[in-house]
Amino acid sequence: MQPYQEEYIDNLKEITSLTAHKRPEGQSFEEYYMRSLEDQALSERKLVRNMELLRDELFPELDRLPEADGSVLSDLQEFASKLLTYPDELDAGLFCQIRRALLSLMRLGRDRNGIIRELYWLGIGRNNLCNKLVGLELAESEKYMLKMRLCFAEAAAYLKYYDEIDSAETRGYILRSRANISLGQFKSPGEKIRLTKRTLQIMQDKAYQEKEPNLPWERFISMTHQQMTASISRSRTGIMSPEDIADVMESVYIVYHKMLQDMEEQKINPSCRSSFSYFSINYYCGLDTLDGLLTKMEMLMDSADDSDFSQDTMYGMISIPAFYCQYLQEHPEKLPMRTEYLENLYRRILRYVETFPESAGSESLFFYLRQLAHTFVETGNSITYGDFLQTLITRFAPDIYVHSYLVGKAASVLCGIIMEEEPSYFDDMDHIRSIRDPGEKRRKTEEYAMQCGIFHDVGKLNFTNLYSQMGRQWFEEEYEMSQLHTIVGRSRLYASPSTRLYAPAAHGHHAWYDGSRGYPESYRRLECPFRQMVDVIGLIDFLESMTSTEQLHRGPKKTFSDAVEEAVSLEGKRFSPLLTARLRDKEVAQRLEHTLTVSHREAYLRLYEREALPLTGTGRIPAPPG
């Protein structure tokens, strides 16, 4: 690799480490706060440096790609592979950008082997991006799934010319691409099963094997069988045909049944993942009842050792509970019998997450947590979904927590100012209009604004790689993907009664007042009874973001007064004139700026106190002052 590439990778690792959660460990709050500010400043400097490296080194290199020699190309490939090293994905977006450039170059030179290789890797990069879309409806995510799948499909189409291709490496890419076509979500399990079945037939075909005996055929076949069994857990909607069931059962037998038998003979405990797949497949294929499956899942979850942070235990502690909750969501009649178990389960998971060592942080943990957040079931005595989400944010994305806290505080202040002048300003919202006492009404509105602020960015939990861990500016495609946080946030908050009221703020805080721009399209301001509050959150979110590290992902950071000036210039377009009118008042602007400054420290104090407190298992952080 070239020196700039190594420096870029080192910077990314450092940014990830700097933005990760740091426990106080004997520090006073002052020390903790100062250290956090230093880390943030250093992380910003690294980000700026990374931009210099890309602009001065990488992009000119891509610019001159047609004249690049072999060593430049192999350095680029090595650099790209480091960006996507499992399990610590560093920069999937840049990986895709480099692979796309290489693909264009290969197409230009009509280099068949190169085209196939780059299609495969571009597909892999896109698969990583797709993994962030847990919790989205297929309609929202299928565009990304498809982009991935088309790359694999094009590379796999060369299978027909397998005999004419003399490179073992290229043949391997073709076969792996063929297998990867069935990655991701499908509209029905049948589609996925049929694609995987065809891959199995190809992998087991002696004609292919004999021509390239050095390829790891057994591994290919075993992984394809696993893919077949995974097709069920990832595609729960839709009904499987008898042929589908037979195909899956065959894979189950080959992969799991044999493995479980072997383990039993050797008196080794089977892994959580294998056992769950086996049990769930039995259920899906009609060999077990749902109650039977749930009981077996409880056994698996109970037997997971909560002091072990290996991949398999993580799966047993977080991912299996996610599936368990999904079954309960789909079959609410099973819930009453399991309420108590569920409540204890969540407490146990939170304790596990809270004790999770920093060094063990990985993409898998977060993937499982995203699954769990998506299938959360709220019961009478369980922790609330809001508390659960806050624990995840504070634990894994403290910068998002700080931003959300600041937005909540400043929104609360702005609401107070507005209500002093117009007590009925927020009366479009039923739960505010119904309050008679003016003082109580104002207090409840401010409280609501605070909670809307706290929760408005929960959707970003899916995309921490685009926010907390991002070590450069966004590419256009990433910017587009980041917009999905509004939809994910809305869908998460809306799913639970305790957070439903905050869903509009998550949904609409990037929409424009006049509807001409902004996102998402599904938010229709005039139809939303909470729009006055959504407007407030949108404005404060804008002011806070422009002055924070997040702005560096879009361009240079701005001062608060520049942000105010820009907001005012967007009066009647992006922002409600009723709000910008208040912002024109210098005293109001100063109050907001002061609130943001003071609250910044407060937010860190809350993070500090949360870490310093003994674990409660509730995940609850101290409530912010009203």
Partner 1 sequence: MRKQTRETGRNRRRYARLEKENIHLREALGTAQSANRAKSTFLSNMSHDIRTPMNAIMGMTSIGLSHIDEKARVQDCLLKIQTASTHLMSLVNDVLDMSRIDSGRMTISEEEFSLPDLVHDIAVIIRPQALQKNQSLILDIGEIYEEELVGDPLRLRQILVNIIGNAVKYTGENGRIRVSFSQHLCADNQAEGKDRVWLDFSCEDNGMGMSREFLKRIFVPFERVNNEATSKIEGTGLGMSIVKNLIDRMGGEIQVESEEGEGSCFRVTLLADVSRRDRKSPNLTAGATVLIAEALEHRSGKICGFLRECGLVPVVVTSGLTAVTWLTEAQYENRMPCAMLLGQKLEDTPSLELASHIRQLAGASFPILLVSETDWSQIEYRTTRAGINAFVPCPLFKSRLLETMSRLLNAGQEDSDKGIDGDYGGCHVLLVEDNELNQEIALELLSLIGVNVETADNGQEALELFEASDENYFDVIFMDIQMPVMNGYEAARRIRRLNRPDAGEVFIVAMTANAFVEDIRLSREAGMNDHISKPIDFEHLKEILSRQLKIRKS
Enumerate binding residues for partner 1 (CB under 8 A): 55, 58-60, 62-67, 97, 101, 104-105, 107-108, 142-143, 146-147, 149-151, 153-154, 156-158, 160-161, 181, 186-187, 191, 472-476, 478-479, 526, 531, 553-555, 576-578
- Least distance (Å) from partner 1 to the CB of residue 421? 12
Least distance from partner 1 to the Cβ atom of residue 68, Å: 9
Handedness of CA 389, 361, 138, 197 (dihedral sign): negative
For 122, the token pair is: 């571009």
The CB-of-105 to partner 1 minimum distance in angstroms stands at: 6
Q: List, in sequence order, the alpha helices (H) in 84-163.
A: 92-108, 112-130, 138-156
Find the shortest distance in angstroms from Cβ 80 to partner 1.
15
Which of 167/618 has CB closer to partner 1? 167
- Residue 154 or 447 with smaller CB distance to partner 1: 154
Residue 153 CB, nearest distance to partner 1 (Å)? Answer: 4
- Judged by beta carbon, residue 210 or residue 527, the one nearer partner 1 is 527
Q: Could you tell me which residues come within 8 angstroms of residue 289 by beta carbon, excluding any fewer than 6 positions away? A: 283
- What does the alpha-carbon distance between residue 624 and residue 606 come to, in Å, rounded to a whole number? 8
Note whether 142 and 188 are within 8 A (CB).
no
Q: What is the DSSP letter of 382?
A: S
Rg value, the chain, Cα: 26
CA distance linking residue 150 with residue 547, whole number of Å:
40
96 forms beta bridges with: none
Closest CB to partner 1 among residues 77, 362: 77
* Whether 316 contacts 303, CB under 8 Å: yes
Provide the strand spans (E) within 33-73: none
Please say which residue, 13 or 147, places its beta carbon nearer to partner 1. Answer: 147
Tell me if residue 575 falls in helix, strand or coil: strand
In the bound complex, what is the minimum distance in angstroms from residue 282's beta carbon to partner 1?
A: 29
Q: How many CA atoms lie within 13 A of 335 on its CB side?
A: 16
Whole-angstrom Cα distance, residue 493 to residue 107?
45
Task: Using the minimum distance from each CB to partner 1, give the nearer residue, 63 or 358.
Answer: 63
Contact at 8 Å (CB) between 339 and 381?
Answer: yes
- Beta carbon of residue 167, minimum distance to partner 1 (angstroms, whole number): 16
Residue (399 or 478) nearer to partner 1, CB: 478
Min dist. Cβ of residue 159 to partner 1 (A) = 9
Pull the structure tokens for residue 161.
């010319």
Cα distance between residue 418 and residue 426, in whole Å: 9
| Residue pair 356/325 in contact by the 8 Å Cβ criterion | no
Give the residue with the Cβ less far from partner 1, 154 or 298.
Answer: 154
Q: How far is the CB of 181 from partner 1 (least distance, A)?
A: 7
Could you check whether the bond before residue 497 is cis, i.e. omega within 30 degrees of 0?
Answer: no
Nearer to partner 1, 101 or 540 (CB): 101
